Amino acid sequence: MFSAQLKERQMIVEKVLFNALKYKQPSHAYLFVGPKGSKMVETAILLAQSLVCKHADPWACEECDSCHRIKDGIYADLVIIDGSEKSIKKEDILHMQEQFSKTALESYGKKIYIIIGAENASTEALNSLLKFLEEPSGHDTYAILISEKPERLLETIVSRCQTLTFKAQDRDVLMESLKEFDLEPYELHLLTQMVNDQEELMELKDSEEFRACLTHFGEFIDEYNKAPYLGELYLQNSVLKRKDAQSDRQRLTLFLNIGMMFFKDVLFKTNTTSSVWKNRMNQLPRQLKPLTAFTLFNESVHKISTNANLGLLIDALLYQLKEEEV
């Protein structure tokens, strides 16, 4: 049962929500903030289940028909908007408002919406969301916003929500879970820096995309160290396959995240037993300013989430890197 996992992993969050449900005083607007892998989406689903489950005590049973339909995203009075991989547009919020303006279809009468990756909403979408928070369709409407980067949200939206902060899973626990696998030390380091959840960690370590992107980034650095234009050619021709736009977005995001971790390690002079990666770290400052590179890679990850053209994004990234060469 996820409620038991929540109590173990996020004790403070669990206690706050447990008491709110127990005393029938849940907030009408929650903002969940925390790192990727901290189980915010799963908690939002559990909270939604608990608001309508007839067996709730106070957590949902997670097994009845209503609980299953909420988990599967087919509960009639639940709207989930996922901005984790694409920008949330004003039309998405207006469509939700239109749905909620109608009479509730389920017998419980409660309407719930969950917005994942709320920070990836456009300014127009955020303004529409703010208006909806200020003027909900009824007293039985509940909002759960989820954000890894709440600083990108409007302050007026944050002020109208009860904020609950989720903590990352202990890195030592993650490291321990990988000891039995034959991983190169720097791979182990990157994995535990990029992922905060054990299940996601196991999935990523076996991912062909992770291996491919790790290889691509290493070769990109090697080529860039020979000559910047060689690195540019490599990145333009090797990372994007230009067949499936969604796969390209995920692949480039993973590539950029690996790069961000690498540049951070250069900045903080992280020690590694990998001679290959140690050489790359030692050579990089001769070609690039690591802080600038980290910033540009981070900005590029955000632009991907707003549906930026990937080809133009790479061109802009390479141009800015070239402008900042030492």
Strand partners, 111: 141
The DSSP annotation for 103-162 comes to: PP-STT--EEEEEETGGGB-HHHHHHHHHHHHS-SSTTEEEEEEES-GGGS-HHHHHTSE
pLDDT in the model for residue 174: 77
The domain locations on the chain are 2-165, 207-323
Q: Which has more pLDDT, 280 or 144?
A: 144
Q: Which has more pLDDT, 54 or 138?
A: 54
pLDDT in the model for residue 103: 81
Q: Is the pLDDT of residue 89 over 90?
A: yes
Does residue 58 have a cis bond before it (omega within 30 degrees)?
A: yes
Provide the pLDDT confidence category of residue 268 given band limits of 50, 70 and 90.
confident
Strand partners, 115: 81, 145
Q: Is the pLDDT of residue 194 over 70?
A: yes
Provide the pLDDT confidence category of residue 216 given band limits of 50, 70 and 90.
very high
Q: With pLDDT > 70 as the criterion, what percentage of the chain qualifies?
A: 97
The DSSP annotation for 157-211 comes to: HHHTSEEEEPPPPPHHHHHHHHTTS---HHHHHHHHHH---HHHHHHHHT-HHHH
Q: Is the pLDDT of residue 258 over 80?
A: yes
- What is the C-alpha to C-alpha distance for residues 177 and 173, in angstroms, rounded to an integer? 6
Q: Among 13-22, 112-121, 211-220, whose mean pLDDT is lowest?
A: 211-220
Q: Which has more pLDDT, 92 or 135?
A: 92
Q: What is the dihedral of CA 261, 265, 267, 270, to 10 degrees?
A: 160
pLDDT in the model for residue 242: 64
pLDDT in the model for residue 288: 74
Beta carbons within 8 Å of 245's beta carbon, 6+ residues apart? 310
Whole-number average pLDDT of the chain: 89
- What is the C-alpha to C-alpha distance for residues 35 and 70, in angstroms, rounded to an integer? 24
- The letter for the amino acid at 302 is H
Q: Which fold has domain 2-165?
A: Rossmann fold (3.40.50)
- What is the value of pTM for the model shown? 0.72
Q: With pLDDT > 90 as the criterion, what percentage of the chain qualifies?
A: 53
